[in-house]
A and B are shown apart, each in its own frame.
Chain A
Amino acid sequence: MHQPLDHPSHPPSPTAQPQTSALAVVSLVASILGLTAVPTVGSAIGLVLGYVARTEIRRSALLTGEGLATAGIVLGWIGIALTLIAMALVLLVVVFGFVAIPGITACAILGRGF
């Protein structure tokens, strides 16, 4: 009784065609955007929708597109991982730029060497 509620437009019938999960497609698109135009936010959306889509597809007999959902999840995780690496990198840039470069400049001005 779950099926008709979730997909009112596609009631199960003997002649029903397999349908690609819209969520899986949106997940993949969001994850790709997460690696291009909408960093981090796109990846997070793609990741969540990917897991939701995968559950939906596995529960349903008619929905396909598990490969798309998995691709969305994998790309989503890559986006999140890159975000974490970027955070560490930017922190390093700020610390280095704030402390080391002014420090070296000061040492050079004072003629003390580093």
Chain B
Amino acid sequence: MTAQAFLTLATAFGLSTAAGLNAYIPLFLVALLARTTSLVTLNEPYTALSSWWVIATLAVLLVIEILVDKIPAVDTVNDVIQTFVRPAAGAILFAASSNVIGLHPALAAICGVIVAGGVHIAKTVERPIVTATTAGVGDPIVSTVEDAVSFITSVLAIVAPYLIVALAVTAISLLIWWAERRGRRPHR
């Protein structure tokens, strides 16, 4: 695998992760950047993503999602609806960005669904816990941080995918270290 292909995969993983937190931030960014800059190149059939109609629709949906996700209890209902949207967005983003290196579309879609779906599940589990422990005060704060992380991850995935690789390697190492430490403890 060439370095370019490797970085393209990093972009795909980064965008899918961002889609798990907020489906519309990476979709909107990719669509807008593909339309207005040469940072993102989309191949057929994904060029449809960069039409002004799609960009405008995504902008509206993005504003709704940002607002709805900040209201306690409503955010949990929204998370249930988004169970279909976020993995789908992850699949589209993964397929659209890995299409350039010729990854099989079905394989790309599965990768996108699993990554975005994983982040989405973790987020959906976290939110009611935050609502319950902070009496709803924490919801808008956590949601804002999530939007920020989704935005930063999307931008990094597009302009500096090697940073996504570095972050992923750090995260995996930490998790392995934690699992090892747990494993070494005597069993009950």
Contacts and interface: CB of A to CB of B under 8 A. Distances in A.
B166 to A, nearest CB: 14
Contact of A39 (B13, B123, B140, B174): B140
Contacts of A100: 118, 175
Contacts, number: 94
A99 B126 contact: no
A79 B137 CA distance: 9
B103 to A, nearest CB: 17
Interface stretch (A16-24, A48-56, A85-93): A85-93
A83 interface: yes
B86 to A, nearest CB: 10
A85 to B, nearest CB: 8
A97 B175 contact: no
B168 interface: yes
Q: Among the interface residues B121, B122, B174, which one has the most CB atoms of the partner chain A within 10 A?
A: B122
B149 A90 contact: yes
A98 B119 contact: yes
Contact of A97 (B119, B130, B138, B143): B119
B134 interface: yes
A100 B117 CA distance: 12
A55 to B, nearest CB: 28
A100 B171 CA distance: 10
Nearest to A80: B141
B118 A86 contact: no
A82 B153 CA distance: 22
B121 A97 contact: yes
Nearest 9 A/B pairs, CB to CB: A97-B119, A101-B118, A97-B122, A97-B118, A39-B141, A93-B122, A86-B142, A39-B144, A95-B171
